[in-house]
Amino acid sequence: MNSNVLAVKELHKEYREIVAVDGVSFDVGRREIVGLLGPNGAGKTTTINMILGVLKPTSGTVMIEGLDIAAHRRRALERTNFAAVYAPLPGNLTVYENLRIFGLIYGVKKINERIEVLLRQFDLMKFRDTKCGVLSSGEQTRASLAKAMLNNPNLLLLDEPTASLDPATASEIRGKIREFAAQTAGGILWTSHNMYEVEEVCDRVLFLSRGKILLEGNPKTLPGEHGKKTLEELFIAVAREPLKLESD
C-alpha cells in the first residue's frame, strides 16, 4: 500500500497565454487532511479539476493510490470521490435515487445497506424520498457529502464544502468529515476560505497564489513562522503580497 493517497508532481495548466497552475507539487497522506488555500483565482479549483480528471494538465502528473489518472482514469476514480458547492446532486431526483445511481456508478457493494448507513450518518433519513432541489443548503451539502462517501474513497476532495452554511451546520459537517478521516485509511484535500475552519480541521495547509504554492506547513504554527498572528492574517498577506512572501 502506498504511503500517500495522492501525489501531484509539477502540475501545470495554461489556457493560451494565461497560466492557471504553475508547477504545483504536493501529496496527501493517509488519514491526513490537507487544506488547499488561496484567494479567488489562485488555481485551487483548477488543481482539483485536474486531480478529478475533468481537466487535462498541460504538463505534470497526478497519481492516486499509485495510479496515474491520465493512464488509469477509471481505476483511479474508483478510489476517489468529491463534493463541491458548485456540483450539487441533480435536484430533480430524490436523495435515495441520487445515492443509488452514484452507488452503481462507483461500483459500491451492498449498495442498499451502504445508502442506509449514510442516510443515518448524515441525518438524511427524513429526506430519503425528498427531491434534492427542494432541500436547504445544509441538507444539500449533507446529501453531496453522503454521495462523496458512498465508495469509502481513499482520496476525498472537498471544494468549499461548508460555504454558505450557518456556523452550527458547518461545525456539524466538519465533525462528520473528521470522523471519516479518522475511521478510514483515506486522505482529504480540502479547500476553504474559512481560516478558523482550516485551523480546526487540517493537519497541513498549502497556500496557493497565482498558480504556485507559496507556503506549506502546520496551520497552527505557520502564521508565527511568517510573523503573523493568525492564519487569516497570513492568508491576507498571501493574497495581497504574494511576491514578498515568495522572496521570504
Partner 1 sequence: MKFSRIFAIVLRQFYLMRGSMSRILPMFVWVAIDMVLWGFITRYLNSIVGGGFNFVPVMLGAVLLWDFFARVMQGVTMAFFEDVWSRNFLNIFAAPLSIGEYVSGLVLSSVATSSVGLIVMLVLAGAVFGLSFLSYGIALVPFLAVLFLFGIALGIFASAVVLRLGPAAEWFIWPIPPFLSPFVGVFYPLSTLPRWMRYIAHLLPPSYVFEGMRAIVQGKPFSAALLFWSGTLAAVYILLACRFFIRIYHHAVNTGLIARYSAESVS
Based on the shown chain and the rule CB under 8 A, indicate whether residue 146 belongs to the binding site for partner 1: no
Which residues lie closer than 8 Å to 186 by C-beta, 6 or more apart?
5, 30, 31, 152, 153, 154, 155, 156, 180
3-class SS shares of the chain: helix, strand, coil, % to 5: 40, 25, 35
Q: Which long-range contacts (CB under 8 A, 24 or more apart) does 27-30 make?
A: 28/4, 28/155, 28/187, 28/188, 28/189, 29/3, 29/4, 29/5, 29/187, 30/3, 30/4, 30/5, 30/185, 30/186, 30/187
Specify the residue, 127 or 235, whose C-beta has the smaller distance to partner 1: 127
Based on the shown chain and the rule CB under 8 A, indicate whether residue 92 belongs to the binding site for partner 1: yes
Position among 27, 32, 65, 78 found at the interface with partner 1 (CB under 8 A): 78
Closest by CA position to 45, among listed 35, 34, 36 = 36
Position among 87, 125, 185, 243 found at the interface with partner 1 (CB under 8 A): 87
State the greatest distance between any 2 C-alpha atoms of the chain, in Å, as a whole number: 55
Based on the shown chain and the rule CB under 8 A, indicate whether residue 224 belongs to the binding site for partner 1: no
Backbone phi, psi, residue 70, to 5°:
-70, -35
Specify the residue, 49 or 192, whose C-beta has the smaller distance to partner 1: 49
Position among 2, 30, 60, 93 found at the interface with partner 1 (CB under 8 A): 93
**By CB under 8 A, which span of 1-9, 103-111, 189-197, 200-208 interacts with partner 1?**
103-111
Position among 49, 154, 191, 192 found at the interface with partner 1 (CB under 8 A): 49
Based on the shown chain and the rule CB under 8 A, indicate whether residue 82 belongs to the binding site for partner 1: yes
Specify the residue, 67 or 238, whose C-beta has the smaller distance to partner 1: 67
User: Rounded to whole angstroms, how far apart are CA atoms 109 and 146?
Assistant: 15
Question: Quick check: 180 and 31 in contact, CB under 8 A?
Answer: no
Based on the shown chain and the rule CB under 8 A, indicate whether residue 54 belongs to the binding site for partner 1: yes
Question: Quick check: 204 and 217 in contact, CB under 8 A?
Answer: yes
Place of cell 480541521: 201
Based on the shown chain and the rule CB under 8 A, indicate whether residue 142 belongs to the binding site for partner 1: no
User: Rounded to whole angstroms, how far apart are CA atoms 219 and 14?
Assistant: 30
Q: How far is the CB of 113 from partner 1 (least distance, A)?
A: 16
Based on the shown chain and the rule CB under 8 A, indicate whether residue 106 belongs to the binding site for partner 1: yes
Tell me the site size for partner 1, rule CB under 8 A. Answer: 34
- Window 5 to 44, contacts with partner 1 (CB under 8 A): 15
Specify the residue, 108 or 222, whose C-beta has the smaller distance to partner 1: 108
Q: How far is the CB of 11 from partner 1 (least distance, A)?
A: 14
Q: Footprint of partner 1 on this chain (CB under 8 A)?
A: 15, 45-46, 49, 52-56, 73-75, 77-78, 82, 84, 86-94, 97, 100-102, 104-107, 147
